[in-house]
Each structure stands twice: as structure tokens, then as C-alpha cells.
Structure 1
């Protein structure tokens, strides 16, 4: 299971938000001008980004220390990673924010060929630095380094080292620490042998309380099945519905299964259809900041139960061709879960 990187933490003492503030000022100052431009809705964002880039270029010419970072960050947030990379490279030895972004980019292969060892090296420099300018990045860097040890990417797989780094990064549930590390600890304690579901529940609770959509969904399922906590259907559905409304696709797949097994076939079919309309796992992961592994599982579940409804005419008109299409989609997204669901359906269930 490949985890996602921690977004660059923002420091109140730095001018990290200068680019966004610049865009906002341009939007306010030139709103009247933009109104008269043909197709302003499609034009506005690109226009504002271009103007922000022009202003950052002026800062570069003026020799402002953070200007290269700001230009790189502007490109990074726009997904223009190949253009962001050389900007961050300009001051990687003096600016820890640039160093952090380079670590993420080399580890994940954004705008460059993957070089996880190089990514690990940058994160270690941040963690080991005594500079006050690196302080706000340490939790996030520790999470990313723990991710490397968990995945065995750039370093050997060492679960204990991943656990140690995530425990540091989680900082006892501090909302200003790495919430991703808190969620990752929950996943770790659910996957280790033997499992420690009480610890998993604790860390998912901390992460959920700090805003993690991933942990909110998993917490709902733990309540639903009584894993690490007493089974509580009311708390489970409250948690699951909230996570679903926020876009957690793994939870959506489980809700489809719940509706189907309760024989709410029309609701199951309609909900599954709405979920499977977007099967771009990568884009969903980017939009929701959830792990692609779980997104694929949620989409597979929704596709399987939609196929079942279409095959048997449950809650919708029977359509053998469409059923075959969705069975195939479920298998492509997650062959293991599709096989398990088929086995379950053929043993006493509809």
C-alpha cells in the first residue's frame, strides 16, 4: 500500500502565502476588467496565475531570497512540476521549503525521474537540521521518511523505524503536527502481526478529530464491525455518511454494500452508479488526499454491486451487457476484492 506525501506545511513567519495573496489582490483590483473579457470563467484562473508569475519574476530580479521558492511553489500548485523543479533547485541549500518540495518530487517522481534515495536524503537533512527555519517542517519530513521505511523505497523496509518516525511526527495527536502520521499509525497497527486494533482506533480517532478524511472513513468501519471498539451502528453510520459526503470513495463503496445487503436495491444501484461515473483513481486521490489503494477498493465494491443489480434486475432494469462491463471494471480495479465479493454473494446472499 503506497501512501501519499504530506503537503508542504505553512509557516506563519515566512512569506509562503505571498503568491496566493498576490493572486487575490490582482483579482480584486482587476475584477471589473475581467468581467468584460470573452468567456471570463475559463480565462480568469490562467490570467491570474500569469500575472502572479510576472510579479514573482520581478521579485527574482530584485534579488528577494524567497522568490525562486515562490515561483516554484506557484508551478507546483498548478501541477507544472517540470517547471517547478529548477526553481526549487536554485536555493535548495539555503531554503528548507525548497529542500522539502524537492524531497517530495524526487521521492514521488514529480517532474523528474523517481529518485527515492535523493528524496530520503532531503528529508533527513530537514530532520537533522538545527536551523529554526526547518522547525515547522520536521513533523512532515518525519512522516515522509517513515513512509519510505514503510514502503521500502529509497531505504530497506523497517516497520519499527516507520513506527518510530510516525510516532514522532504524530506528536501525541497534536493538530499542528502531521495528521497523516496519525492516520498512518492507525493503518500500521491494523496491518501488523499481531494487530493492535485498540491502538489503531486511538490513532484514527486522533487523526479524524484533526480533520483526516481517510481516518474518518476507517473509524466509521471500525465502529461498524466492532474492530478495536464496541460495535456501534449509529456511530458507524454517522461517521460513514459524513466521510461519504466529504468524498471518501472507500466509504462510498462500503455504503453501497450496506444498502445492497439491507435489500435497499434501488438506493444501492443509484448510489453505485453515481460513484462509478468517475473512476480516475489518481485524480480522486489528489482531490480528497486519500490513499489510492483504498479508493480503488471503494470503486471496485461499487462496480461489483452495480453489476449485481444489473445482472439480477434488482433496483434497476436488468442489463446483461452493462453488468458484464461493471464486473470487468471491478476486477480491473481490485481483482482480490471482486473475487471475495463474488464468493460472498454466491454463499447464501442475493
Structure 2
């Protein structure tokens, strides 16, 4: 199972719970020497020592301790144990409430209960407590997803847009970058499309580190969607996104090389792209939507098949051509069919 919601925002950066514990126990220098020098110990040892210290705090009645123990288990992927800890402190700690919302929505450690997940996110958004403030952008993004997908809530595109606007906070880098990217996709999908708004939000998200938006921005520059065509900017975005692991960008680069008759480069690059076709594994590693990863892999597979079939940039090989045509169809039948139709009309 994988996390699809916005990860828990941290007030002081993306520290693991081991680091958080080390800060809380900074006065006990001897007791936490193992945290400040984690490379000296096995991971199993570090987790056991963290559990030991957090249990002491639980016994001492410290309210944050249940959250820390739950977060430790969550980071280890021990979701059922994490759920029990978060349940202990959800009424006094908004971070525990947030994690419960994520777990019920995504079905982590519990059967999916999207309505319950939505309920927790609404409580965070509506709270006036300063302790909920740093969670509100992420909660608004998650709630927007629920309305967009109709999961745990009625499909309400306008409400999804409103919540994502809140979560995106005018492009604030400390807000939800996922919401900024989601707005870019929303304005590309609505009828009528608003590609200028889509370009704006993908630009904001890309500037704030979104790998997904960086690849899409490259395509918008390449085809002049929402912005004037700019081949230099397009290739810069696509290559940078590709170097960071964006498979959708990789698939479009394969297409770019093929259409410009750089067949050797297209074939060699496509071979590397298609070495790993585990969509879920890639999605977890780079935090991009499986939908786009499958499309990128399907494109690379199709053009590699074409190269093998016609002997372009590589020796002709009918068996490999069939293998990669089949892979393209399995990954994304619609993409494969569209490319096959284009090929049959002699355009590639």
C-alpha cells in the first residue's frame, strides 16, 4: 500500500521521528548519543532505542509521546501499530488527527474509510488552534482531492478548485506544492480549458520543486500550450525532469528524438527507460501519478518497438518489436492505439 495523500507537514523541516526525538531529549546527551551518530548503529537498534525513549515519555504522561511513537511506526511502514498510537492522541494532537485522516483515506493499516478521512481533514481546516496552522495547506489539498475524485465526498469540481486555491496560497513555496500542480492539471482538464492558468500553476509548482509539473511545463513549452512555443525552454524542462526521474518526460524525449530522426539516440534512450516498467514502484520512488508514469513508459516502449521493426537506430528484430508493442499496449492501450494510428497514416 502506498501513501497518496499529502505527507504530514513538519513545522521545522522534513525530519524523521528519530531526529525529532533527539531534539526533545537533547538534555540527555549520553542517552541520545546513538541518535546524533546514527551511522554507528544498525537501523533496528535505532528504532528499538527510539521506542524505549518514547515509552518513557508515555509513562511520564507527555501528550506528544503517543504521536511520536505512532509516527515512528508510520515511517517504518508498521501502519496497524501506528494507527493505534494516533488513536490514543487524536483528540489532543492535530498531527495525530492528520495522520489518521491520511490512513483512513488511503487505507493504510485499516480498511479504507474515505468519509472518515474527509471528516478529520475538515476538522483541521476549520480549527482556530495555532497547533493546526501548519497542517491546513496539506489538509485542504487532501480534501480537494476528495471532492475532485468523488472519494469520501460528492464530486464537486468547484469546491476542489476552491480548496486547492487555498492550499496553493498564491504559489507560496511553504504551502502545498501538490495543490499548485493539481491546479495546473485541473485547468488543463476543465471545459473549456484555461491553459494560461494551467501554465501559471505548473510554473509555480515547478519553481517550488514539483517533478511532475516540471515535465508538464516542458510539454507546454514544446507545443505552445498556454505559452509561446520555446524549444530551448522545453528541452531544458524535459531534460531536467528526466534527470530527476520523471518517466513521462522521458517518454516524450524518446518521441522528440524519434520524430527528429535521431533514431540511434531514441532507441538507446528508450531501452534505458523501459528497463524498469514497475509503475507502482516508480510512483512510490518519485512521488508522481502512476497514470503519467504508465503513459511515459508506453510511449518509450512503442517507439522502441518501431525502431526494432524498421531497423531504425538499431538492428531490426521482429521478436523484440512484438515484445515492446505488447508492452506499450499493456501499459496504456489508449496511448499505444493513438501512436499506432499516427504510424499507419505515415506521420511517424
TM-score, with length taken from structure 2: 0.91
Shift of 1:29: 4.4
State the match for 2:144 in structure 1: 146
Do the aligned partners of residues 145 and 28 (structure 1) sit closer, same or farther apart at CA in structure 2, a change above 3 Å counting? closer
Do the aligned partners of residues 344 and 46 (structure 1) sit closer, same or farther apart at CA in structure 2, a change above 3 Å counting? farther
Aligned alpha-carbon RMSD (Å): 2.1
Give 2:175's match in structure 1, choosing from 174, 177, 183. Answer: 177
Residues in 2 aligned to 1:30 and 1:346: alpha-carbon distance in whole angstroms = 59
State the match for 1:240 in structure 2: 238
Shift of 1:27: 5.6
State the match for 2:28 in structure 1: none
* Structure 1, unaligned runs of 5 or more: 35-43
Residues in 2 aligned to 1:168 and 1:306: alpha-carbon distance in whole angstroms = 43
State the match for 1:39 in structure 2: none
State the match for 1:40 in structure 2: none
Shift of 1:221: 0.6
Asked if structure 2 preserves the Cα contact closer than 8 Å seen for 1:208 and 1:216, the reply is yes
TM-score, with length taken from structure 1: 0.91
Asked if structure 2 preserves the Cα contact closer than 8 Å seen for 1:16 and 1:70, the reply is no
Do the aligned partners of residues 304 and 168 (structure 1) sit closer, same or farther apart at CA in structure 2, a change above 3 Å counting? same
State the match for 1:278 in structure 2: 276
Asked if structure 1 preserves the Cα contact closer than 8 Å seen for 2:104 and 2:117, the reply is yes
Aligned residue runs from structure 1 range 250-265, under 5 A: 250-265=248-263
Residues in 2 aligned to 1:267 and 1:50: alpha-carbon distance in whole angstroms = 50
State the match for 1:308 in structure 2: 306
Do the aligned partners of residues 235 and 119 (structure 1) sit closer, same or farther apart at CA in structure 2, a change above 3 Å counting? same
State the match for 2:11 in structure 1: 11
Shift of 1:215: 0.8
Deviation string, structure 1 residues 7-63 (Cα, Å, up to 9, x no partner): 111013x9975523558952654755x5xxxxxxxxx33333333333323332332
State the match for 1:163 in structure 2: 161
State the match for 1:48 in structure 2: 46
Do the aligned partners of residues 25 and 259 (structure 1) sit closer, same or farther apart at CA in structure 2, a change above 3 Å counting? farther
Query: Which one is further off, 78-87 or 240-249?
Result: 78-87
Asked if structure 1 preserves the Cα contact closer than 8 Å seen for 2:140 and 2:166, the reply is yes
Give 1:328's match in structure 2, choosing from 310, 326, 329. Answer: 326
Give 1:66's match in structure 2, choosing from 41, 64, 67. Answer: 64
**Secondary structure at 1:170's aligned position in 2?**
helix
2:25 pairs with 1:26: no
State the match for 1:102 in structure 2: 100
* Structure 2, unaligned runs of 5 or more: 23-31
